[in-house]
Structure 1
Amino acid sequence: MAQRDLRLLPKTHLHLHFSGSMRHLTLVELADKHGVRLPDALRTDWPPDLSAADERGWFRFQRLYDIARSVLRTEDDVRRLVREAAEDDKADGSRWLEIQVDPSGYANRFHGITEFTDLVLDAARDAAASTGIDVQVVIAANRTRHPLDARTLARLATQYVGRGVVGFGLSNDERRGTTSEFAPAFRIARNAGLLAVPHGGELCGPATVRTCLDELGAGRIGHGVRSVEDPELLKRVVDAQVALEVCPASNVSLGVYQRPEDVPLRQLYEAGARIALGADDPLLFGSRLAEQYEAARAVHGFTDEELAGLARGSVLASTAPEDVRKRLLAEIDEWLGVGQQVLTPATAPAY
């Protein structure tokens, strides 16, 4: 039986990190241009063999991410990254992208967090104009840094409400820092109308999801897959329709689950959770957005109707205005009712 093309399924992309969105070819070209030495894991042995099951594994992952970030040296480099991220998302059927960035990680090279944020937002507007998809920004704090730094970033984010910043996040290793100490930063962001989108429930168990809900006022959870381990918590997430940004490829690459079939995507879906599939860091995990949907089909047995349900969940979980949501939901229905193209395997483009 012919299967509908998942790259034509309209969807949103809500879990994509800034430097992690970079094309591998772009990484290599910028590294050569700026004289940055890449380890074999980022040049010849790409994608790298990763695991964050222990602190040493996370350190290696973070080191590779930091090296990738270091190749961004000029304004043109940043604009290229954002434009290519939008192009790749469009090719995968994304109509709305919320890309996540911690400006403090780039401040030294780009004259401060405000100047860098201005640059990213300008690049996002240009990318949206050239690709035709909406590109929004989530400002994210780093849970390995002091909570006061997060308050600075929250105040920064509030200055851009209505100008391209739609949410405030918290990323990095859940096992470090105390999540509840970031509550004041999230209060600043929420009071300004930003959606709270912290990471939780991936490297640590369901308790971090509960803390994100209780202390940070999360409207969406980055990952959140381990909510499945606590039926009471999962029911709470489902009842409140707090969306989970599930990133199957990264869950396996980082050792949260050993095999693709171990990712509890089916359990979460059947429990009624609102799910937005995400690629997380394609540069390090080797797969982009459409491949997450292909995994749902090939590994977890999702039908086209269920895949359309995942796409609807991503739309409803986004910060898109109501008119955009209605349009995208109608396009998903059209894909389901009309699309008859045979699927081409969603392998990563050879950049």
Structure 2
Amino acid sequence: MMRQMKKAEIHCHLEGAVPPALALSQARRYGVETDVFLRDGAYVWRDFTSFLAAYDAVAGLFRTEDDYALLTETYLDELAAAGAIYSELFVSPDHAETVGLGAGAYIAGIARGIEAARAKTGIECRMIVVGLRHRGPERVEWAARFAAAIGHPLVTGFNMAGDERIGAVSDCVRAFDIAREAGLGITIHAGEVCGAESVRDALDFVRPARIGHGVRAIEDPGLVERLAEAGVVLEVCPGSNVALGVFESFQAHPLRRLQAAGVKVTLNSDDPPFFHTSLQREYEVASQAMGYSESELDGMTRTAIEAAFVDKETRSRLLSQL
């Protein structure tokens, strides 16, 4: 039943979605030793800092437009097989620049993968360009300018990700203004590793339509009320939160409490193989460990599509499939 249920995902990092088998294949292709970050078919990390290091190591295995077309098609095929009809992928032109690919070729490769998966399965997908917070405000603004200027129909949003413990949201306001002025949807990572104050800063300085994670808002009832009143959608990733120790268990996760307080929530996988999860498993956990009914899960899928950074025609077509 869960596999047949229509699903949507609006929070997933493309380089964080690399299946270990594909990473190993790429490593062999480029002669890269993987023992530090990949052993026995699983990614190796201990905490958030080492997770980011492993993530960057895996991202470094994708170096050409063809590599990114393959990765994107592989992940979207997997999603479609699990019942997903829509996906938003967080894409980082910084990673493309790091490997010498170039941001334009990076987007072109991802777009090829999106189109190939859609032709086979019908899944819709859009790209959300990400600026990396820990690389400084100048690089975040560079990513925003790139997203605003590229004019690609599949690039529909802007986000800031990376290490939430570094820098201040207030230093990156200009980047979000650039993206907003270009008509891009606005979302931002907040309230994951850092507490409620991180969510408050995001609301105060960025005024996003959505927040990636945002679950630490539960620490401040007034902030939860503010999220509900503003209609800000949270891109919630329970598997990621538990794997990183943000909450000790699925039973302790605040998804239910946030929703009961009127906050709009969605289910997502974040960096699925790094956290031994998938979009399919997130729906299963919500059902089995959190007690969500089929209609409640369908409601969160509907919320995701309603919050998606797509045109009205695409949104209507997606909603009609639920």
TM-score, L = length of structure 1 = 0.87
Describe the shift of the 1:111–1:327 C-alpha distance in structure 2 as closer, same or farther (beyond 3 A): closer
Distance in 2 between the 1:74 and 1:319 partners?
27
**1:33 — aligned with what?**
29
Q: Which among 280, 285, 288 is matched to residue 298 of structure 1? A: 288
Q: Which among 205, 227, 232 is matched to residue 215 of structure 1? A: 205
Per-residue deviation, residues 300-345 of structure 1 (Å, max 9, x unmatched):
111112111111111112123333333333332xxxxxxxxxxxxx
The residue type equivalent to 1:238 in the other structure is A
Cα offset, 1:278, TM superposition: 0.8
Check whether the contact 1:9–1:311 (CA below 8 A) recurs between aligned residues: no
Per-residue deviation, residues 127-172 of structure 1 (Å, max 9, x unmatched):
3233311121000001111211111111110123461111110111
Check whether the contact 1:276–1:317 (CA below 8 A) recurs between aligned residues: no
The residue type equivalent to 1:146 in the other structure is G
Distance in 1 between the 2:170 and 2:120 partners?
40
Matched residue count = 322
Check whether the contact 1:100–1:138 (CA below 8 A) recurs between aligned residues: yes
**1:54 — aligned with what?**
none
Match status 1:238 vs 2:228: yes
SS in 1 for 2:166: coil
Match status 1:325 vs 2:315: yes
**2:258 — aligned with what?**
268
Distance in 2 between the 1:33 and 1:27 partners?
10
Distance in 1 between the 2:313 and 2:4 partners?
20
Check whether the contact 2:45–2:51 (CA below 8 A) recurs between aligned residues: no
Percent of matched pairs sharing the same residue: 34
Match status 1:151 vs 2:141: yes
* Deviating more after overlay: 225-234 vs 248-257: 225-234
SS in 2 for 1:204: coil
The residue type equivalent to 2:136 in the other structure is H
Distance in 2 between the 1:183 and 1:222 partners?
17
Match status 1:11 vs 2:7: yes
Over aligned residues, Cα RMSD in angstroms?
1.7
Check whether the contact 1:127–1:135 (CA below 8 A) recurs between aligned residues: no
Distance in 2 between the 1:320 and 1:253 partners?
31
Match status 1:105 vs 2:101: no
Cα offset, 1:93, TM superposition: 1.6
Unaligned segments of structure 1, at least 5 residues = 51-56, 333-351
Match status 1:308 vs 2:305: no
Check whether the contact 2:148–2:184 (CA below 8 A) recurs between aligned residues: yes
SS in 2 for 1:97: strand
Match status 1:137 vs 2:133: no
Cα offset, 1:225, TM superposition: 0.7
Runs of 4+ residues deviating >6 angstroms: none
Check whether the contact 1:250–1:279 (CA below 8 A) recurs between aligned residues: yes
Distance in 1 between the 2:229 and 2:82 partners?
30
Q: Which has the higher contact order (CA 8 A, sep 6+)?
A: 1
Distance in 1 between the 2:152 and 2:135 partners?
27
Cα offset, 1:110, TM superposition: 4.0
Distance in 2 between the 1:171 and 1:226 partners?
16
Describe the shift of the 1:327–1:6 C-alpha distance in structure 2 as closer, same or farther (beyond 3 A): farther
Match status 1:88 vs 2:78: yes
Check whether the contact 1:222–1:244 (CA below 8 A) recurs between aligned residues: yes
TM-score, L = length of structure 2 = 0.94
Distance in 2 between the 1:294 and 1:214 partners?
35
